[in-house]
């Protein structure tokens, strides 16, 4: 079969749902998918932010979606079929020591980071399995691989998310449906605004990576396009790390060489 490598990342004629497209990584993912030719369905709890994202894309629409509401997710899946690409970004974190964590906080973090992800994978995965094609992209975190004090529940949800991705890949593969997760390092998004505003913390995190800086949200968009496109047609069940070497280097002290 002859391959046109000039079109390896093109998404012309494909329909992409981006959940959490109102800001941060979700917005940049939606813009990038649209720039490569996809029709983008921008979904967000804040529909005004989704509309703002959609207004910057040649072919797009905006919808309100509460991923914590099972009925909302199910109803959206019924409306937007067929669907070629699903990108899911929403997450939250409560930074506390285990001994200080409340069960209410535990439930809130698990509900958004893990339960909602499961619902998205199940609902849109069923749609894609039925049509015999599709690519699902979720967002994990370096905290699935390496933790720090105060990150217990967040890290546990991201580890769980990666297990869901691997299992879904095994179950959906026969139907030509791929699913992968992106594992970012520290990214300048609304979720990390509190850390960014603490200069000492911001600088410490920047120094931990091999590149010596935080990521911009747009630096995750290339990974999304890759996993959505024909360029990754043989990639499923994978965790794509985009962390500037954070998990590759033994980073708190650089000895003289």
Domain boundaries, given as residue ranges, for the chain: 12-242
| Angle at alpha carbon of residue 21, lines to 20 and 27, rounded to 5° | 130
Provide the CATH topology of domain 12-242.
Answer: Rossmann fold (3.40.50)
In tens, the pLDDT along 127-179 reads 999 999 999 999 999 999 999 899 999 999 999 999 999 999 999 999 999 99
Would residue 154 show up in a list of annotated catalytic residues for this protein? yes
Q: What is the pTM of this model?
A: 0.95
pLDDT at 12 (0 to 100): 98
pLDDT at 240 (0 to 100): 98
Q: Residue 108 half-sphere exposure, CB side, CA atoms within 13 Å?
A: 9
pLDDT at 254 (0 to 100): 59
Identified catalytic residue from 101, 154, 202, 234: 154
pLDDT > 70: what percent of the chain?
A: 96
d(CA 127, CA 4): 29
| Tens-level pLDDT at each residue, the chain (257 residues) | 688 999 999 999 999 999 999 999 999 999 999 999 999 999 999 999 999 999 999 999 999 999 999 999 999 999 999 999 999 999 999 999 999 999 999 999 999 999 999 999 999 999 999 999 999 999 999 999 999 899 999 999 999 999 999 999 999 999 999 999 999 999 988 777 777 788 888 888 888 889 999 999 999 999 999 999 999 999 999 999 999 999 998 656 554 55
pLDDT at 195 (0 to 100): 74
Contact 40, 54 (CB under 8 A): yes
d(CA 229, CA 243): 21
pLDDT at 253 (0 to 100): 56
d(CA 110, CA 79): 27
d(CA 77, CA 71): 10
In tens, the pLDDT along 2-17 reads 889 999 999 999 999 9
């Amino acid at each position: 079969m002859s391959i046109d490598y000039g079109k390896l990342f093109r998404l012309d004629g494909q329909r992409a749902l981006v959940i959490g497209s109102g800001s941060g990584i979700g917005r940049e993912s939606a813009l990038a998918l649209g720039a490569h030719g996809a029709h983008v369905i921008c979904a967000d709890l804040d529909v005004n932010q989704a509309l703002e994202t959609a207004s910057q894309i040649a072919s797009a629409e905006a919808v309100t979606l509460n991923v914590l509401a099972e009925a909302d997710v199910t109803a959206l899946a019924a409306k937007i079929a067929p669907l070629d690409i699903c990108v899911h970004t929403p997450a939250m974190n409560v930074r506390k020591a285990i001994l200080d964590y409340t069960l209410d906080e535990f439930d809130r973090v698990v509900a958004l980071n893990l339960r909602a992800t499961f619902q998205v994978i199940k609902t849109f995965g069923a749609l894609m399995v039925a049509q015999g094609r599709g690519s699902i992209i979720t967002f994990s975190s370096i905290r699935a691989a390496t933790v720090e004090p105060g990150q217990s529940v967040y890290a546990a949800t991201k580890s769980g998310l990666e297990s869901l991705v691997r299992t879904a890949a095994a179950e959906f593969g026969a139907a030509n449906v791929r699913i992968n997760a992106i594992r970012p390092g520290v990214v300048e998004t609304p979720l990390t605004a509190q850390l960014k505003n603490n200069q000492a913390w911001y600088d410490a995190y920047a120094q931990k990576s091999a590149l010596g800086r935080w990521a911009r949200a747009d630096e995750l968009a290339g990974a999304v396009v890759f996993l959505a496109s024909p360029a990754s047609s043989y990639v499923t069940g994978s965790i794509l790390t985009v962390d500037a070497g954070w998990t590759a280097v033994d980073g708190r002290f650089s000895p003289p060489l």
